[in-house]
């Protein structure tokens, strides 16, 4: 299998990862215009105002990117997906054409980084944490088409003793503080792997874009984004439990209230809400503004959303305009009482009763922020 090198069109952005020799400086392939994205090193955050007027799905050109290093350009003609391990009876190796010939399904689902909302630990809770300082734009929803992972595993012959499924990406090895952690990989328990996980090769009706995992990636519904391994080349199925640095050293909750080795590895996402509005938006006074937004959860459909413009003193229910399997869109006609600075807050509840607390319980790596976000807006007379 060969990795193609980016050409001259892959111009330099704000990448902070030294590229392998011969590679362009940019960790990304797609264009990241500033009206659609905020770039944080090798990651690109979606601007929420870019979703106003969009349908249910986040178009591929504005879907956030979370790269540990850089987007590899994988040649589909030589790519193979290898399945192997002590939990399988055979060790098949599939080509891109083999994958496309298998029974496929399409799902609408979110990919959301575990660190989405992380910056609010520092800005709202006075609890600075390391890591990419996302606001709320480390989420995207797409229609993913691909082969259920269960189909691939059953065809390869699962043994009765199989317990864990470890997918590994083809992007460069990742080093942290001088320690090479190897290729990005993370085990999934067999039950989840057989439930609703997809080996996706299409995103919103197009072949997966390079930045989102071409030629194939996992899509793990409801779970933190790290489970959805991009550029997958290898899937190990094991009869003994597997770990990786992404299931032991990170993507757990660490800190007060958690054991020294951290919580169990993160699985499902939490409840969040966002306005489709620029950060520090300026709105004219003396008018009603139709505010639009979305709320979502990794554990169930959103059933209720309300909005406050006075830091939670009073709440008003919003109109849910379209409740889908991924996120729920809503709108609220806001008549600001007068000019001045405001903090707009939305909070949602899902069908399991999970909601959004005033503050998120602190954890040292800043995961699973579900607290109330104060979105700053200025109304000018």
Ligand X SMILES: Nc1nc2c(c(=O)[nH]1)N[C@H]1C(S)=C(S)[C@@H](COP(=O)(O)O)O[C@H]1N2
Sites of contact with ligand X (CB under 6 A): 63-68, 111, 113, 140, 169, 171, 184, 212, 225-226, 228-231
Residue 213 as a binder of Mo ion (CB under 5 A): the answer is no
CA–CA dist 73, 94 (Å, integer): 19
d(CA 324, CA 141): 11
Question: What single string gives the DSSP state of each residue in 120-170?
Answer: HHHHTTS----S----S-SEEEEEEEEEEHHHHHHHH-B-TT--EEEEEE-
Query: With respect to Mo ion, which residue has the nearer C-beta, 96 or 367?
Result: 367
Q: Looking at 87-95, 219-227, 264-272, 365-373, which segment touches Mo ion (CB under 5 A)?
A: 219-227
Contact 332, 294 (CB under 8 A): no
| Under rule CB under 5 A, residue 225 binds Mo ion | yes
Residue 169 touches which of Mo ion, ligand X, none (Cβ within 5-8 Å per kind): ligand X
- Cβ proximity to ligand X: between 111 and 344 the closer is 111
In terms of CB distance, is 147 or 226 closer to Mo ion?
226
Other Cβ atoms less than 10 A from the Cβ of 284: the count is 11
* Minimum separation from the CB atom of position 333 to ligand X (A): 32
- The residue within the footprint of Mo ion, chosen from 47, 62, 66, 347 (CB under 5 A), is 66
Options 111-119, 198-206, 291-299, 300-308: segment touching Mo ion (CB under 5 A): 111-119
| CA 265 – CA 268 distance, rounded (Å) | 10
Question: Taking Cα atoms as reference points, which of 265, 185, 194, 275 lies closest to residue 231?
Answer: 185
Judged by beta carbon, residue 140 or residue 215, the one nearer Mo ion is 140
Q: Is 113 in the site for Mo ion (CB under 5 A)?
A: yes
169 forms part of the interface with Mo ion (CB under 5 A): no
CB under 5 to 8 A by kind: which of Mo ion, ligand X, none does 228 bind?
ligand X
Give the Cα separation of 258 and 246 in Å (integer): 17
**Calpha distance 22→13 (Å, rounded):** 16
Instruction: Choose among Mo ion, ligand X, none what residue 96 binds, the Cβ cut-off being 5 to 8 Å by kind.
Output: none
Residue among 222 and 225 whose Cβ is closer to ligand X: 225
- Out of Mo ion, ligand X, none, what residue 184 binds, judged by CB under 5 to 8 A for its kind, is ligand X
Beta-sheet strand order (sheet of 65-66)? 37-40, 43-46, 65-66
Partner that binds at residue 171, options Mo ion, ligand X, none, CB closer than 5 to 8 Å by kind: ligand X
- How many other β-carbons are positioned within 10 Å of the β-carbon of residue 2? 10
3-class SS of residue 216: coil
Nearest to ligand X of 64, 120 (CB atom): 64
Cα 207 to Cα 6, 110, 131, 212: the distances in Å are: 18, 17, 30, 10
Nearer to ligand X, 17 or 343 (CB): 17
366 touches which of ligand X, Mo ion, none (CB within 5 to 8 A by kind)?
none
217 binds Mo ion (CB under 5 A): no
Residue from 301, 111, 144 nearest 223 by CA: 111
* Binding positions for Mo ion, rule: CB under 5 A: 66, 113, 225-226
């Amino acid at each position: 299998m060969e990795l193609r090198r980016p050409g001259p069109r892959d111009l330099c952005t704000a990448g902070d990862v030294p590229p392998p020799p011969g590679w362009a400086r940019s960790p990304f392939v797609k264009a990241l215009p500033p009206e659609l994205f905020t770039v944080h090193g090798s990651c690109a955050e979606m601007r929420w105002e870019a979703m106003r007027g969009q349908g249910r799905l986040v178009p591929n050109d504005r879907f956030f990117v979370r790269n540990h290093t850089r987007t590899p350009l994988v040649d589909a003609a030589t790519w193979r997906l290898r399945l192997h391990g002590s939990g399988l009876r055979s060790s098949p190796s599939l080509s891109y054409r083999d994958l496309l010939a298998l029974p496929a399904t399409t799902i609408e689902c979110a990919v959301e980084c575990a660190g989405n909302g992380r910056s609010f630990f520092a800005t709202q809770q006075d609890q600075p944490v390391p890591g990419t300082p996302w606001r709320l734009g480390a989420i995207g929803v797409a229609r993913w088409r691909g082969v259920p992972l269960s189909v691939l595993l059953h065809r390869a012959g699962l043994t009765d003793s199989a317990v864990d499924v470890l997918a590994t990406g083809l992007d460069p090895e990742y080093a942290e503080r001088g320690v090479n952690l190897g290729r990005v990989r993370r085990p999934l328990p067999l039950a989840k792997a057989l439930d609703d996980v997809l080996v996706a090769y299409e995103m919103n009706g197009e072949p997966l874009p390079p930045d989102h995992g071409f030629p194939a990636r996992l899509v793990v519904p409801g779970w933190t984004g790290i489970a959805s391994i991009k550029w997958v080349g290898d899937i190990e199925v094991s009869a003994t439990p597997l770990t990786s640095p992404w299931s032991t050293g990170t993507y757990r909750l660490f800190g007060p209230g958690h054991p020294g080795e951290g919580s169990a590895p993160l699985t499902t996402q939490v409840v969040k809400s966002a306005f489709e509005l620029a950060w520090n938006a300026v709105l004219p006074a003396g008018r009603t503004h139709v505010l639009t937004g979305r709320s979502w959860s990794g554990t169930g459909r959103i059933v209720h959303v309300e909005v406050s413009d006075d830091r939670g003193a009073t709440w008003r229910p919003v109109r849910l305009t379209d409740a889908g399997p991924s996120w729920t869109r809503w709108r609220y006609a806001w008549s600001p009482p007068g000019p001045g600075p405001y903090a707009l807050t939305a909070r949602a509840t899902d069908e399991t009763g999970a909601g959004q607390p005033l503050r998120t319980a602190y954890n040292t790596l800043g995961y699973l922020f579900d607290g109330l976000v104060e979105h700053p807006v200025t109304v000018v007379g």
